[in-house]
């Protein structure tokens, strides 16, 4: 390829390249030829060479070496070279390039050029890549051109002024007087630019917004002229007179009429005229109607006009274009709270959109359908949503289930209907529901005491039918709690069925042995099996056998449950009936209620913060027995405390607030030793105590000759108490008592119940891991000195 080839020939050769490597070779040779042409100076081929370089730039190859050539061509007196030079500047330069500053003077000179086409080149370039410095220097020139007599120049100058305002907002006042006068222009291009300029000015300055609200009647007249004008081939688009200008005017009216009654009243008649006379069969008409609807909804319009706007959006829902249906539902979603009754009239059409093939349309229809659910239509809407749940895409299943749960909880006509709806969702899309669904459903079942028999029968049938469903956990819980009602077989609300003790135990054992059951589900099934030992009479030995099998389970949680249940059978059989009695009614509105937490469950530290490795060694067998009693909770038998330890008062490190009065000694804060073993000492002190809140600090020190590492504290409290553990000061305790590790614990006891706190201490000393548990079962309100029971 020779250096003299034209742009068209170069494009043909590049497109004929068969491989990317061949294309790169052609580009490299051509760029070398272009550089040679640039070095030869003014030979008449510079503009052609720059045009070829711009094509190379469009293909994604480096073209920065042509920046200075753009500056030279812009300064050329010939129009053909100026045109390529300005085009190159818009493509190769930006405000971050130093070379862009070199063309400021050329642009200023060309803005005063006698040719309107040269002026337009300078205006387009400034509007495209003008920096803040260039805009400040050239703003007076642009303001002068706004008053020019040439409509072609004024059109481009207005758009250039918009760019200047965006770059340098403080220059907005310079263009405000000229912008108002441009509204009297007849040229549609100038009017379009003027409306865009006024819109930008109103967005930037509230004072300017108030000033241009006086121009609302003028804008209304311009809009009426467009709506009622006769056919004009120059501006007609699909039967609509200049829809682009109409859309711009409607957007400006929306800004001017927002929260202003006077401006809104002045445009109400116009908006009604546009809404009724615009043909929506074509895209252009739909665009104008859509902007009209948005304007009606955003200003202080009349109620009848708002109903008309909602009806227009309802017509859009019947459009074959999915994009129009999508934007219609998006707009209805925004106004459904303020114009709920008007949107309800189109509920059938919205529900039909759930069957659309496009996922984005389905998502919008789902959101809008959920927003339309009310106490009046809850049954019919739930029927449609449950049908949609059965065939909706997987990515929408979770959102659908959550929406159904929220609507059912808010508008359920009865508890039975509520329970049936949730069970239906769990059966249809159990794998996509939120984690809190199971405890929420359990709480709902416990409050509906009259439906316990009905619920346990229905859940047992679902469990026997398919154990892979997510409602297995709820079914196991209900069978454990209300298994005696299931065995009676007397239920008026559902067809009775005869269930034997062996049938129930077979179902639970199937869940325990199934490979599809998660560890949490097995825990539910094992607990349900254990609870049945107090509700049946003939198969207690079988239950004892099932429980003992899992005493050596590889899952630690399941193993711990089994060991504790075995201890109930052997050592504490006299307490088994009291420990395994029915759960009381749970009120999830109580501050201390947490879904899924057991009273003695150890709360893990925040995983977002670094924490040491937790030790895995077990304490003495005696501590396991106490652990068992604390985990099961709810018994009236008090634990036997050890002799109360002696307290060692220490002086606070900072002066007490009473020192401000002078002459008063700081009050010592009492500390109590709760753990002394292997050189580790753990003390507790009460920092603050009110009627419902206690703030305590756990202070650990090390008297050995080696540092104690991997030190962690874990705490558990009854469910009625809220516990919050602050981050510890560290996880390494220095030797010889040279340092301490402190952790603050906040206890909120709104029910003023008897406080109990179990502390688990884990640490590593000389490579050996240690783990012990301490029970603090008394927090006297007078002296915050707990009594300690070692476990």
pLDDT tens digits, 186-196: 889 999 999 99
**pLDDT tens figures, 572-626:** 888 888 888 888 876 655 544 443 333 333 333 343 333 333 333 333 333 443 4
Q: What is the DSSP string of 537-573?
A: SS-HHHHHHHHHHGGG-SSHHHHHHHHHHHHHHHT-G
**Ordered DSSP codes for 711-763:** EEEEEE--TTSEEEEPPPS-S-B-GGG--EEEEEEEEE-TT-PPP-EEEEEEE
Q: Name the most confidently modeled range: 28-42, 408-422, 657-671.
A: 408-422
- Dist. CA 504–CA 319, nearest whole Å: 56
Q: What is the DSSP letter of 97?
A: S
Q: Does residue 1 have a pLDDT over 60?
A: no
787 or 8, greater pLDDT: 8
- Determine contact, residues 593/748, Cβ cutoff 8 Å: no
**Worst-scoring range by mean pLDDT, 94-108, 203-217, 689-703, 709-723?**
94-108
pLDDT digits (tens, 9 = 90+) for 489-504: 777 667 767 888 888 8
- Read off the pLDDT band of 765 (50, 70, 90): confident
In the predicted structure, residue 23 carries a pLDDT above the cut 80: yes
Cα Rg of the chain (Å, integer): 39
| Residue 209, number of CB atoms within 10 A of its CB | 18
Q: How far apart are CA 444 and CA 92, in angstroms?
A: 67
SS3 at position 764: strand
Of residues 491 and 691, more confidence is placed in: 691
pLDDT at 464: 85
- In 3D space, the residue among 199, 314, 310 whose CA is nearest the CA of residue 258 turns out to be 199
Under the banding of pLDDT at 50, 70 and 90, the label for residue 667 is low
What pLDDT was estimated at residue 607? 38
Q: Report pLDDT digits (tens) over 108-162.
A: 999 989 899 999 999 999 999 888 888 999 999 999 998 888 899 999 999 999 9
d(CA 76, CA 81) in angstroms, rounded, equals 6
Q: How confident is the model over 195-219, as a mean pLDDT? A: 90
pLDDT higher than threshold 80 for residue 659: no
Q: For a pLDDT cut of 90, what percent of the chain falls above it?
A: 19
Share of the chain above pLDDT 70, in %: 85
pLDDT tens track for 390-438: 888 888 888 898 899 989 988 989 888 998 898 888 888 767 777 778 8
Q: 67-78: per-residue pLDDT in tens?
A: 888 888 888 888
- Whether residue 660 has pLDDT greater than 50: no
In angstroms, the CA 436 to CA 441 distance is: 9
Q: 3-state DSSP helix/strand/coil percent for the chain, to nearest 5?
A: 60, 10, 30
Interval 742-757 mean pLDDT: 84
The gap between the terminal CA atoms of the chain, to the nearest Å, is 91
* Average pLDDT over all residues of the chain: 81
pLDDT value at position 672?
81
Question: Does 11 score more than 50 pLDDT?
Answer: yes
Residue 394 is predicted with a pLDDT of: 86
Query: What confidence tens digit (pLDDT) does each residue in 239-256 have?
Result: 888 899 999 999 999 999
pLDDT, position 626: 40
């Amino acid at each position: 390829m020779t250096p003299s080839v034209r742009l068209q020939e170069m494009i043909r050769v590049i497109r004929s390249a068969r491989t990317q490597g061949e294309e790169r070779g052609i580009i490299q040779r051509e760029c070398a030829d272009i550089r040679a042409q640039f070095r030869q100076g003014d030979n008449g081929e510079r503009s052609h060479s720059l045009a070829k370089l711009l094509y190379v730039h469009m293909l994604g190859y480096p073209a920065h070496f042509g920046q200075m050539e753009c500056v030279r061509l812009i300064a050329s007196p010939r129009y053909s070279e100026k045109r390529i030079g300005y085009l190159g500047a818009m493509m190769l330069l930006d405000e971050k390039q130093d070379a862009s500053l070199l063309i400021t003077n050329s642009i200023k000179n060309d803005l005063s050029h006698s040719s309107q086409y040269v002026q337009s080149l300078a205006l387009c370039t400034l509007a495209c890549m003008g920096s803040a410095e260039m805009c400040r220097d050239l703003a007076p020139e642009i303001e002068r051109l706004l008053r020019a007599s040439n409509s072609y120049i004024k059109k481009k100058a207005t758009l250039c002024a918009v760019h200047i305002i965006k770059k340098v907002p403080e220059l907005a006042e310079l263009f405000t007087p000229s912008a108002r006068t441009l509204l009297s222009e007849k040229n549609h291009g100038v009017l379009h630019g003027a409306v865009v300029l006024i819109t930008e000015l109103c967005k930037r300055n509230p004072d300017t917004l108030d000033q241009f609200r006086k121009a609302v009647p003028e804008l209304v007249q311009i809009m009426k002229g467009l709506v009622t004008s006769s056919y004009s081939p120059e501006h007609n688009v699909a039967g609509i007179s200049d829809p682009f200008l109409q859309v711009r005017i409607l957007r400006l009216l929306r800004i001017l009429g927002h929260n202003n009654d006077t401006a809104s009243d002045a445009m109400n008649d116009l908006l009604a005229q546009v809404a009724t006379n615009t043909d929506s069969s074509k895209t252009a008409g739909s665009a104008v109607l859509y902007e009209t609807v948005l304007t009606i909804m955003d200003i202080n319009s009349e109620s009848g006009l708002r109903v008309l706007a909602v009806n227009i959006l309802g017509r859009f829902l019947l459009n074959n274009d999915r994009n129009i249906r999508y934007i219609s539902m998006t707009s209805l979603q925004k106004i459904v709270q303020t114009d709920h009754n008007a949107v309800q009239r189109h509920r059938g059409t919205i529900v039909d959109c759930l069957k659309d093939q496009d996922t984005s349309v389905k998502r919008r229809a789902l959101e809008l359908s959920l927003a339309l659910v009310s106490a009046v239509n809850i049954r019919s809407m739930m029927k449609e949503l449950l049908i949609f749940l059965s065939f909706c895409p997987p990515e929408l299943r979770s959102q659908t289930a959550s929406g159904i749960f929220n609507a059912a909880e808010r508008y359920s006509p009865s508890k039975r209907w509520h329970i049936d709806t949730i069970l239906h969702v769990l059966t249809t899309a159990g794998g996509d529901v939120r984690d809190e669904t199971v405890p929420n459903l359990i709480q709902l079942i416990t409050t509906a005491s009259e439906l316990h028999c009905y619920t346990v029968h229905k859940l047992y049938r679902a469990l026997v039918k398919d154990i892979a469903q997510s409602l297995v956990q709820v079914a196991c819980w209900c069978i454990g709690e209300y298994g005696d009602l299931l065995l009676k077989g007397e239920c008026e609300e559902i067809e009775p069925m005869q269930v034997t003790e062996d049938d129930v135990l077979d179902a639970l054992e199937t869940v325990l042995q199934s490979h599809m059951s998660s560890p949490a589900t097995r825990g539910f099934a094992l607990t349900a099996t254990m609870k049945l030992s107090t509700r049946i009479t003939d198969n207690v030995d079988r239950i004892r056998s099932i429980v003992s099998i899992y005493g050596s389970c590889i899952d630690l949680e399941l193993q711990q449950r089994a060991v504790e249940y075995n201890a109930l059978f052997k050592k504490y059989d006299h307490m088994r009936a009291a420990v395994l009695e029915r759960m009381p009614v749970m009120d999830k509105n109580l501050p201390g209620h947490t879904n899924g937490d057991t009273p003695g469950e150890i709360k893990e530290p925040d995983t977002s913060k670094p924490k040491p490795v937790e030790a895995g060694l077990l304490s003495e067998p005696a501590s396991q027995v106490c652990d068992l009693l604390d985990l099961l909770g709810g018994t009236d038998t008090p634990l036997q405390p050890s002799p109360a330890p002696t307290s060692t008062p220490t002086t606070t490190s900072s002066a007490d607030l009473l020192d401000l009065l002078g002459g008063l000694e700081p009050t010592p804060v009492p500390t109590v030793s709760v753990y002394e073993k292997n050189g580790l000492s753990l003390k507790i002190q009460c920092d603050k105590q009110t009627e419902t809140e206690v703030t305590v600090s756990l202070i650990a020190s090390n008297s050995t000759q080696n540092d104690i590492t991997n030190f962690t504290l874990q705490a558990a409290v009854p469910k009625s108490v809220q516990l919050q553990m602050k981050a510890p000061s560290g996880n390494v305790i220095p030797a010889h008592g040279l340092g301490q590790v402190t952790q603050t614990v906040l206890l909120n006891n709104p029910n003023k119940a008897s406080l109990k706190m179990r502390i688990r201490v884990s640490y590593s000393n000389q490579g050996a891991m240690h783990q012990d548990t301490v029970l603090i079962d008394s927090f006297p309100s007078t002296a915050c000195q707990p009594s300690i029971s070692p476990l």
